[in-house]
Structure 1
């Protein structure tokens, strides 16, 4: 496996509220290989956005380690974290709400350059022009305001803004979910091109597993703040090793309307993070639950090369031979 740019170990985030403690993330561990795109999927309320923001310390972790290029950033002092943030950027879900409507596009993209003291005014302007061209827009767009652009164009502006300070790692938080399908495809292909051109490492957060399967090299599946499965995208797509991942996979629309696919329908709603179930947090909705699932929290079961499932019944339900899961 490629060397990891990020190593996430036992990452936990809990929020204290008037109603109790919200268990947003619990004991999450996986690596993000350098130059790869890792997809993070799960239902609403699974902790995806919290994890993405915790990796940038926009949300402070309760405990655990986040090693970025060998440095644990969890306890990094503010001045050192500020320097580190030049290497770590984010693309938000709603580009309109993340772009100041009072600033012109050129000024928006140059904000990071100005904040880190990069270049002269002329050099920053030239850099912005190059970035706009790189993301499929025109240098002439620098003088316009965000409201003059379509949703897809605004997302391209957001991407250019994230790229301005030459980061190594980008969190893309539901960055195509609000776009039409045809525009989604254009933005996804842009991200692939930028990854190849710049050797970028990305965490791509989404709820649509079909998008993740198209874009990503690796997939991590979250449920109620816990990791359910992590592995190469091809393996997770073709041979999911956790009942929750199988349910998500079975919900992907088939391009052929005549195709027959066995659906796994989950009963009920995701439990409250204020009172997560004991043992396996997925057990209250799992079609394969047994008494033992309510006891100890399951650890990772290795089911293939760099492929882990957090289910005590993985081998019994799906089996594996030579690192390959089969039904």
Structure 2
């Protein structure tokens, strides 16, 4: 029996627009083991948020399977999916716009409890107070409005709200990108603590590979809706094989400015998902592009363990 809480198979999401079909997510497959954190990294426009919200069926997939604890949730009706959502929650990127400014913090955190008729009166207030303490805030804060808090505190409120229904799985969508670096570290450590205490499984979406390296057990690299590379975090750090991943790794700041750097800057902009390049979608920006990269989707190249690269030239370039 698989230890994966979430199993994604050939997941595709396309949007029909007046200008044509947007290929947001194409044929993505991966597993997230129970109690682990999967990092999903890539530039803006790579499809990370669309993928995360599709996993929760906040956006309906075009095709593919999303198996949550053995159940393909793409087949569930609205009532069954509502019950499943108690186990699947999201932390949004913007801690300002994701919180209703007209509601007190206690009411914001209790929204899910009210929706599922969990507790009432004093019991519900005690639950909210405990959640506030768990994320590093005071129970007295439940009577304040969101504008009275800093950005980091508001994000802690968002985390408490996501935890209220005691979910098994959380999508954290760029949840620290709007915060100062010192506050980022505090929130990341909070997420690690919550994972350990609650045995949470997470998909952590980010554009900063250094943040993903710190927090996550596995990393999936997404570009224009396609997987470029996936594997254990340490392996992706030490032995990344896809040219795109290597470019992302080379952009991570080094603590010693005198240390030698082997930078691989990306040239140009990410293409439009309305007209993705044929073959390997990264080929228009790849420093190692070959003529055959324009035809046929790259297959997964096993590098060892669970580390895969989706590059036709992996073995030729790196001997792997």
TM bracket (short chain): over 0.9
Indicate if the aligned counterparts of 1:268 and 1:285 stay in contact, CA closer than 8 A.
yes
Q: Counterparts of 1:81-100 in structure 2 under 5 Å?
A: 81-100=81-100
Q: Distance in 2 between matches of 1:80 and 1:319?
A: 49
Uncovered stretches (5+) of structure 2, i.e. residues with no partner: none
Q: May I ask how many residue pairs the two structures share in their alignment?
A: 320
Q: Distance in 1 between matches of 2:138 and 2:112?
A: 20
CA shift, 1:299, in A, is 1.2
Uncovered stretches (5+) of structure 1, i.e. residues with no partner: 321-327
Aligned partner of 1:172 in structure 2 is 172
Indicate if the aligned counterparts of 1:2 and 1:34 stay in contact, CA closer than 8 A.
no
Aligned partner of 2:137 in structure 1 is 137
CA shift, 1:121, in A, is 2.0
Query: Aligned with 1:5: secondary structure?
Result: strand
Aligned partner of 1:45 in structure 2 is 45
| Pairing 1:11–2:8 present | no
- Tell me which stretches of 4 or more aligned residues in structure 1 moved more than 3 Å: none
Q: Distance in 2 between matches of 1:155 and 1:318?
A: 41
Q: Distance in 2 between matches of 1:265 and 1:104?
A: 46
Query: Aligned with 1:308: secondary structure?
Result: strand
Q: Distance in 2 between matches of 1:30 and 1:316?
A: 25
Query: Aligned with 1:94: secondary structure?
Result: coil
CA shift, 1:125, in A, is 0.5
Q: Distance in 1 between matches of 2:30 and 2:303?
A: 15
Aligned partner of 1:325 in structure 2 is none
Range with bigger deviation, 117-126 or 217-226: 117-126
TM-score computed with the length of structure 1 as normaliser: 0.97
Q: Distance in 1 between matches of 2:31 and 2:72?
A: 13
Deviations 1:24-58 (A, max 9, x none): 00000011111000000000000000000000000
Q: Distance in 2 between matches of 1:232 and 1:68?
A: 21
Q: Counterparts of 1:60-79 in structure 2 under 5 Å?
A: 60-79=60-79
TM-score computed with the length of structure 2 as normaliser: 0.99
Deviations 1:102-123 (A, max 9, x none): 0000000000011011112211
Indicate if the aligned counterparts of 1:240 and 1:246 stay in contact, CA closer than 8 A.
yes
CA shift, 1:318, in A, is 1.3
Q: Distance in 2 between matches of 1:196 and 1:136?
A: 16
Q: Distance in 2 between matches of 1:73 and 1:43?
A: 28
Aligned partner of 2:206 in structure 1 is 206
Q: Counterparts of 1:173-188 in structure 2 under 5 Å?
A: 173-188=173-188
Query: Aligned with 1:86: secondary structure?
Result: helix
What is the CA RMSD across the aligned residues, in angstroms? Answer: 1.0
Query: Aligned with 1:30: secondary structure?
Result: strand
Query: Aligned with 1:186: secondary structure?
Result: helix
Deviations 1:163-197 (A, max 9, x none): 00000000000000000000000000000000000
| Pairing 1:111–2:111 present | yes
Aligned partner of 1:323 in structure 2 is none
| Pairing 1:226–2:222 present | no
| Pairing 1:163–2:163 present | yes
Aligned partner of 2:59 in structure 1 is 59
Indicate if the aligned counterparts of 1:279 and 1:293 stay in contact, CA closer than 8 A.
yes
Aligned partner of 1:324 in structure 2 is none
